[in-house]
Amino acid sequence: MIALLRKDRPWMRSVIVGGGAVMTVVQMTTDLRETWALPPIEMKGLFTVGWIWGLFLGLAASVFDEKLGTRELLEHRPLSQRRLHASRVLACAVVLAAWNFLPSLLRLGIAALLDPQVLAIRPELITYVWLDLIPCTSACAIGLFVGAFPFRLRWRVAISLVLLYSLFALISWCAEPWSNEEQAAIERSRWIFANLHLATALAFVLASFAICGSRRDIDRPLPPRMRLLGVGSTVLTATLATTFAAHLLEGRHSVELQRKFPAIVRTTRGAFALVRDLPLRQGPMGQSIHSAEFVDEEHRPRMLGAERIEERIAQLPRPWLTLPSFGAPRLHWRTSGGYLESGMYCTLQLREHDGRYAFRSFGKGPDGTPFAADAVRVAKGYRSYDSGPLHLVFERSSQSLWKLDSELGSFVPLALPNGDTLIDVDSSATPTEFVGTQVVYSWRNQEFQPVRASGRSEIIAPKPKAPLLRAHIEKDLLSPSHQIFDAAGTLMFEHAYAPRTSSERRSAGLVIAWSFARPPALSVAGHLGASPMETENALIDPLVSGGRRTWLVALHLLFGALCAAIALWRLRRLGADRHACWFWGVLTLLLGLTPLLASLCFERRRAWSRGPAIEPSVPPRIVSAPAILST
Amino acid sequence: MSAPIEFEDVWRWFGSQVVLRGLSFRVEPGQVYALLGRNGAGKTTALRILLGFLAPLRGRARILGVESEQLGPAQRAKIGYVGEDHRLYSTMRVRDVVAFEAGTRPGFRRDLVATALARCGLLEKQRVRQLSRGQRAQLCLVLAVATTPELLICDDPALGLDVVMRRELLDALIDLLAETGCSVLLSSHFLQDVERIADRVGVLHEGRLIVDATLEDLKRRVRRATWMPREGAAPPREAQILRAARRRVGFELSLLDADEPLLERLRATGELAPLAPCSLEELVLDLTGPEEPGLLRQPLSSFAERGAVEVRS
Amino acid sequence: MFPIRIDPSSAEPLYEQVVFAVKSAVARGAAEPGERLPSVRELARELAINPNTVVRAYELLERDGVIVRRQGAGCFLTGKSSDRAVAERRKQLQELLQRAATEAHHLGFAPDDIRKALEQALERLHFDPPRRKA
């Protein structure tokens, strides 16, 4: 097997050098301390470079002889296909090992040359580099597996990309850290991430052994093993990708629809109204652009005139369905998530760009006293480019304002100028206004600037939030309903939304149409199992989740059966064997449209053709008896 | 010992193009079998099927007693193969090639290769991509015979070689035959070489084997003669007349097993020149060429007028 | 040693050409009894023909008693001409002459011319000084 590597040496050398150089450059772009001295940051670049090169490596190893035209030369030797394939796997392993060590060593070597007094390097941190390079291994295994498919190269590249995207998205989803708080959660999620990738790599390497040596022959049906493993995995991942795409498209069309979903507000006159597009978006300077359009219960646009919005009661969250993506596990810092958790500590993210040791507890003063429960972050819209975002916390109960001093690592009290006393912070204004007893200030150029005289002279106790109204929203992509009850539980307002105008109906129709691209089996599972409004999970159809729209599930099932019938009818006509019929029948019944389309691609007429009519065999015109040689 | 190579009604098509139509023949142990035919007659396809690189769509090919599709390491060890394009890893040097083969083939005789290379004038440090076509072909043959195979399969080994190289190749083959008495199946376009070395020839034409005979038999049984019909009589359609090519005057007939009754019949309708022996080249031309000489040089429009070119098989 | 020449593209089978070459050398006196024939491999390489053909030719020659095979030493000329049964030999001679006569007839020669030519051929066989090769 080592002898077989002799032929692979040239490409191994160039791939090691090429990939290694890119990885070194990517490593150079991160600060040495951040990678090798402190707990390392996530190297997104390394991750991306890793999977691209890994996939390339796997495909290259798999198709090298085929594309060089030396496949027959290689195969005509007394070695089994498995041995030949094992040598490919070995070549990949050597390259991967080189990639895991050489760029790091090179990077450290360059650093040592540039600065001989390199600070304390912790060699054990290479595991974090490996963590970002692990997708390289699984991508390589996927490349090896798909490279052995007996299809055209461009198809193989496409299939490998589908496989890689779906599986990586799935792994990233499984390894998603659900808690933003703890380092331990991140460690656990990294552990899951690494192990899932290794398991994937192992599975694909084993699968590649099972299908290695299959030759492309479009005049013959696919070998059963190739169909089961190769085509099966392709169809499954393609279904996954289609589901993601359907999810995204459903989301896009439903967002079209729900731009018209209004918020419920109470106007100054005390009437309830549905208000559309409130607030629309953040302006470039951080200000909100309000463009309120009032609609009545039949949601026909009607201007509300001089009426103002007194209170916003409820707004349907927009179900922005996101496409699953993949990446190394990292903290997902949700900036809207709030700075203050349980009122105890203000935890701040110092480095927002990576989310590494992102969580630190800060309190009042150097000893870090916790804030009171009613502390809120203020200073909306303040961002100076030299000092970074402004972190101001207003503790209402003590009427004190605190500013983060990032050098001290704690909040320091901030007093209004001229001995003025802070009585309120008006967060609704942009920029935020600080109301003193005499003057209203805004924060500009690192200090308070007077805006106008304050109308209020005394400290106003914060208006207790009147728990007067309770809104109940039945979330749904197409027909959400709102109910508003008062404190006593009396229904005060009710509105059930349904698409009414033709453009709304069109959008709704598209949402439903796209749901047919999802596999019927998942539709049933989501219908029976999932909670009502799943928008995070792309695998579950929000239209039917939580027992809604049974008729749609039935239609989905019917559609699956129709797909299966079409696939089977076609295969019968082509004269496919039982194995192929069973395979595609089951897949289309469960997964619907994608396997049907795949069966059109993978089961070609030529492969099942019975060939020309059998002619009576014509004996050669000149024939002599088999010569018996006397030797 | 069973036949090392056996084709049984092998069919192969690529889409609508049928390449082999029921190919059946066998190569006996120790025999040198030459597969002849025009380009695209299906020779390479037949050999690739035999070596398991391509699957037969009907029928089966057996090699060293196993189905070609189940050809395993044990059998491959006994088969030498020289492909049509003499493909080698182009980045290697000659010594790498030898080391690669030695490492991947048990029973590889390096001493044999070393002397053979010296005889061919190949240097160990030469790069494969710098070798001439002939040198590559020689190297391939040397490597193929270095394991002293029981069976050697060559797909047009002499293609693109000059006359000296071809003779060198022939010598290497003769050495192998003299030493091991292995069976050889080769396809070739160089009929003079085939005449020297083949025991038996098969002529493939449009996917069918139209000749499967020993060389002696072939030469003894096929004769040519010029025949001048009286009053424009057409040559009789008889199985014994392989081909009647129209000449400036009369016809050039190729006769199979020409016996007296046939000759009498021909003499009755025309004037028959004495029978002449026929070389392999003429024979193959007669069997696989167009009906009339010079047909291929005519403009395409004249083909259209005639309809399809009918080639007798 | 005596030269053996063949013409691969001639209609005559190669082994017969080899047999004929040896026999004619013996008949001409170009080869002496006891002379060692080249080994199969040597001759095959020299003529660039299949060793099987040489083997076959040698077998025929041995059967005809022209050569004798000694284990491990090679094949040697006996000096005898073919010792096959007289009847068979006669039959072969008849066939040979029949063929020659037919061909000659078709070449347009009168029987007398043919007879004369045959006699001349016989004379050449006997009175030509044997050409020896080093």
- Residue-wise pLDDT tens digits, C81-131: 655 556 666 777 888 888 888 888 888 888 898 889 888 888 887 655 444
CA of B302 to nearest chain A CA: how many angstroms apart? 30
Q: What is the 3-state secondary structure (H, E, C) of B145-206?
A: HCCCCCEEEEECCCCCCCHHHHHHHHHHHHHHHHHHCCEEEEECCCHHHHHHHCCEEEEEEC
The pair of structure tokens assigned to C43 is 């001759």
Output B184 or A27, whichever has higher pLDDT. Answer: B184
β-pairing, B183-187 with B151-155? parallel
Report which residue type is found at A602. Answer: F
Instruction: Say if C102 is an interface residue toward chain A (CB within 8 Å).
Output: no
Would you call B171 and C14 a contact, using CB atoms and an 8 Å cutoff? no
Instruction: Select the residue of B13, B83, B313 nearest A73 (Cβ to Cβ).
Output: B83
CA of C103 to nearest chain A CA: how many angstroms apart? 25
Q: Which residues of B touch A631 (CB under 8 A)?
A: 30, 181
Would you call B256 and A68 a contact, using CB atoms and an 8 Å cutoff? no
At residue A295 the predicted structure's pLDDT band, cuts being 50, 70 and 90, is: very low
The gap between the terminal CA atoms of chain C, to the nearest Å, is: 7
Q: What is the mean pLDDT of chain A?
A: 75
CA of B166 to nearest chain A CA: how many angstroms apart? 22
Q: Which residues of C touch A629 (CB under 8 A)?
A: 52
Q: Is the pLDDT of residue A328 over 70?
A: no
Tell me what pLDDT residue A276 has: 56
Would you call C44 and B170 a contact, using CB atoms and an 8 Å cutoff? no
| DSSP codes joined into one string, A111-154 | HHHH-SS-----GGGHHHHHHHHHHHHHHHHHHHHHHTSSS-HH
Tell me what pLDDT residue C128 has: 52
- Asked if residue C52 lies in contact with residue B180, where contact means CB atoms within 8 angstroms, the answer is no
Q: Which helix (H) or strand (E) segment is B139 a member of? A: helix B133-145
Q: Is the pLDDT of residue A346 over 80?
A: no
Would you call C9 and B279 a contact, using CB atoms and an 8 Å cutoff? yes
Taking CA atoms, A473 is separated from A24, A493, B5, in Å, by 53, 11, 80
Instruction: Select the residue of A6, A70, A626 nearest B103 (Cβ to Cβ).
Output: A6
- Least CA distance to A76: which residue of chain B? B76
Q: Which of residues 208-247 of A touch B (CB under 8 A)?
A: 215, 217-220
Q: Which of residues 37-76 of B touch A (CB under 8 A)?
A: 48, 51, 53-55, 57-58, 72-74, 76
Contacts of A572 (CB under 8 A, 6+ apart): A581
Tell me what pLDDT residue A40 has: 59
DSSP designation for A301:
B
- Asked if residue C53 lies in contact with residue C44, where contact means CB atoms within 8 angstroms, the answer is yes
- Asked if residue A426 lies in contact with residue A394, where contact means CB atoms within 8 angstroms, the answer is no
Q: What is the pLDDT of residues C31-80, one digit of tens each?
A: 778 888 888 888 888 888 888 889 889 998 888 888 888 887 788 888 76
Look at residue A402 and give its three-state secondary structure: strand
Would you call B77 and A80 a contact, using CB atoms and an 8 Å cutoff? no
Q: Which residues of B touch C106 (CB under 8 A)?
A: 274
At residue A600 the predicted structure's pLDDT band, cuts being 50, 70 and 90, is: very high
Instruction: Select the residue of B181, B200, B287 nearest A631 (Cβ to Cβ).
Output: B181
Q: Which residues of B touch A626 (CB under 8 A)?
A: 26, 28
The tens-digit pLDDT sequence of chain B (313 residues) is: 578 899 998 999 988 888 998 888 999 888 899 999 888 888 999 999 999 999 999 889 999 989 988 888 888 999 999 888 888 888 888 988 999 988 888 888 888 888 888 877 888 888 988 888 888 888 888 888 888 888 999 988 887 778 888 888 888 888 888 888 889 999 988 888 888 888 899 999 888 888 888 888 888 888 888 888 887 677 777 777 877 777 777 888 888 888 888 888 888 888 888 888 888 888 888 788 776 544 444 343 433 344 333 333 3
CA of C129 to nearest chain B CA: how many angstroms apart? 32
Q: Which of residues 600-629 of A touch C (CB under 8 A)?
A: 629
Tell me what pLDDT residue B253 has: 83
Q: Which residues of A touch C56 (CB under 8 A)?
A: 630
Q: What is the pLDDT of residues A431-461, one digit of tens each?
A: 777 888 778 888 777 778 888 777 665 655 5
Q: Which chains touch B (3 or more CB pairs under 8 A)?
A: A, C
Which has the closest alpha carbon to A599: A614, A612, A611, A589? A589
Instruction: Say if C69 is an interface residue toward chain A (CB within 8 Å).
Output: no
Look at residue B67 and give its three-state secondary structure: strand
ipTM of the prediction: 0.85
Q: Is the pLDDT of residue A58 over 80?
A: yes
For B35, phi then psi, to 5°, come to -100, 120
The pair of structure tokens assigned to A150 is 């007996």
β-pairing, B200-205 with B32-37? parallel
Output A271 or A247, whichever has higher pLDDT. Answer: A247
Most confident of the ranges A472-486, A504-518, A565-579, B248-262: A565-579
Q: How far apart are CA B235 and CA B228, in angstroms?
A: 9
Would you call A7 and B58 a contact, using CB atoms and an 8 Å cutoff? no
How many contacts (CB atoms, under 8 Å) link B and C? 68
The pair of structure tokens assigned to A348 is 């701040």
Taking CA atoms, A153 is separated from A163, A217, A226, A518, in Å, by 15, 14, 16, 28
Would you call B13 and A77 a contact, using CB atoms and an 8 Å cutoff? no
At residue A292 the predicted structure's pLDDT band, cuts being 50, 70 and 90, is: very low
Q: Is A274 left (phi over 0), alpha (psi -120 to 50) or beta?
A: beta
